[in-house]
A and B are shown apart, each in its own frame.
Chain A
């Protein structure tokens, strides 16, 4: 299995801040890396697919970059609705593996 790590595991930030979350894979997966936002009581939301493609309907303050084994999710200017938990997921091979998550909290 390809193992995934995320850093930081939690993050406190303020509205308007720029934040970056990093996801690392145990082996190269080219661009087969996706990012999701989870909030309690809501369906998970796809933000970024293929490492850098913005899902339709997702605000442009979200962006993704990277390839190979290191990927980043950046939120350029935090909004109140962005406080949530974020997960990366590789889709390179079976089994798909999710990262352990990054909880973004209000400072």
Chain B
């Protein structure tokens, strides 16, 4: 069974850069598929942030592209999110997930439980 787990700071100061890591077990990232990040602000809907292929190719949501970097470390079976210039509007639950784009219909078939990130001084 594929399992994903997000880790990172729960509190980030305004203007700082958020760094989150998603650790994958039960499947080798090197084997394929895309790996993505999605977030949900409190009381609001889900927003797709972006994704990375095992080879390192990335796709980002244009609304966040200038601030987002997603990277992969196949040796640790992890992928990471960096979001710069954080503001209160970036306060959200951040999820990582496996994205089957290119192999199926682009569905997210396995998700982490999420990690809550609050932006506050």
Contact = CB atoms under 8 A, between A and B. Distances in A.
Interface of A: 1, 31-34, 36, 41-46, 49-51, 53, 55, 87, 89, 91-92, 94-101
Contacts of A45: 111
Interface of B: 4, 45-48, 59, 61-63, 95, 97, 100-101, 104-114
Given A46-B107, A50-B107, 4 more contacts: A45-B111, A49-B109, A98-B45, A98-B47
A50 B103 CA distance: 12
A55 B45 contact: no
Contacts of B97: 44
Contact of B113 (A42, A55, A89, A94): A42
Interface of B is mostly: loop
Contact of B45 (A33, A46, A96, A99): A99
Contacts of B108: 34, 36, 44, 46, 89
Contacts of A98: 45-48
Contact of B61 (A43, A91, A94): A94
A33 B104 CA distance: 11
Given A95-B62, A95-B63, A55 B109 contact: yes
B107 A34 contact: yes
Nearest to B48: A96
B25 to A, nearest CB: 13
User: Among A55, A91, A97, which residue has the most Cβ atoms of chain B within 10 A?
Assistant: A91
Contacts of B105: 31-34, 49-51, 53, 91
Contacts of B95: 43-44
